[in-house]
């Protein structure tokens, strides 16, 4: 005798669909910077504020040195004479509210050298972006460098 259970299928399939939707909503897309940190940033200082005003008054041109531009999959730390440091984002993972662990391949001058995978922590505090990383001279130690940026423009 073949017995089918159409009633159970009515409950299981919608439940699976809801579970999949909730899992996707809770899982951030990897390799994509959070929308909240995208944009133009300058060091949080009087000099940084002046550079932001200067940049906004002469659009469209390249940003002044020390600017940080965060886009969907890339971050550029602008420097003098075209010696910019490029960060190609490979993974983003939330740590807590407004805090993310970001991994990126770093391409710095001279650009012929292999890219290095680095891990950073970004924390957004209102319109301040805190960028923390292990000290270059001691990557396995507990010493952390943190740069604080203020949003420029939008």
pLDDT of 31 strictly over 60: no
Residue 112, pLDDT score: 86
What pLDDT, on a 0 to 100 scale, did the predictor assign at position 106?
A: 93
**Any idea of the CA torsion for 121, 124, 128, 133, to the nearest 10 degrees?**
0
Neighbours of 139 (CB within 10 A): 12
Q: Residue 60 — very low, low, confident or very high, per pLDDT cuts 50/70/90?
A: low
**pLDDT tens track for 80-127:** 887 899 999 999 999 999 999 999 999 988 888 889 899 999 999 988
DSSP 150: E
Summary mean pLDDT of the chain: 78
| Banded pLDDT at 24 (limits 50, 70, 90) | very low
Would you list the DSSP string of 58-100?
Answer: T-SSPPPTT-EEE-SSEEEE--GGG-PEEEEEEEEEEEETTEE
Predicted confidence at residue 104, as pLDDT, reads 94
Token pair belonging to 61: 């041109």
> What pLDDT does 43 receive?
95
3-state SS assignment for residue 57: helix
Burial class (CB in 10 A: 0-12, 13-18, 19+), 134: middle
Query: How confident is residue 63, by pLDDT bands cut at 50, 70 and 90?
Result: confident
* Burial of 115 per CB tally in 10 Å (0-12, 13-18, 19+): middle
The percent of residues above 90 in pLDDT, for the chain, comes to: 49
């Amino acid at each position: 005798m073949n017995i089918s259970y159409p009633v159970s299928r009515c409950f299981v399939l919608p439940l699976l669909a809801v579970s999949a939707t909730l899992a996707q909503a809770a899982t951030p897309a990897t390799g994509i910077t959070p929308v909240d940190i995208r944009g133009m940033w300058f060091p949080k200082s009087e000099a940084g504020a002046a550079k932001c005003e200067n940049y906004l008054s002469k659009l469209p041109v390249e940003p002044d040195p020390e600017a940080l531009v965060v886009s969907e999959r890339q971050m550029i730390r602008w420097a003098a004479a075209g010696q910019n440091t490029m960060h190609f984002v490979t993974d983003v993972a939330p740590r807590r509210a407004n805090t993310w662990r970001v991994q990126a391949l770093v391409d710095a001058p001279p650009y012929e050298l292999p890219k290095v995978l680095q891990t950073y922590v970004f924390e957004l505090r209102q319109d301040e972006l805190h960028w923390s990383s292990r000290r270059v001279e001691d990557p396995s130690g507990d010493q952390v460098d943190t740069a604080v940026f203020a949003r420029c423009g939008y």
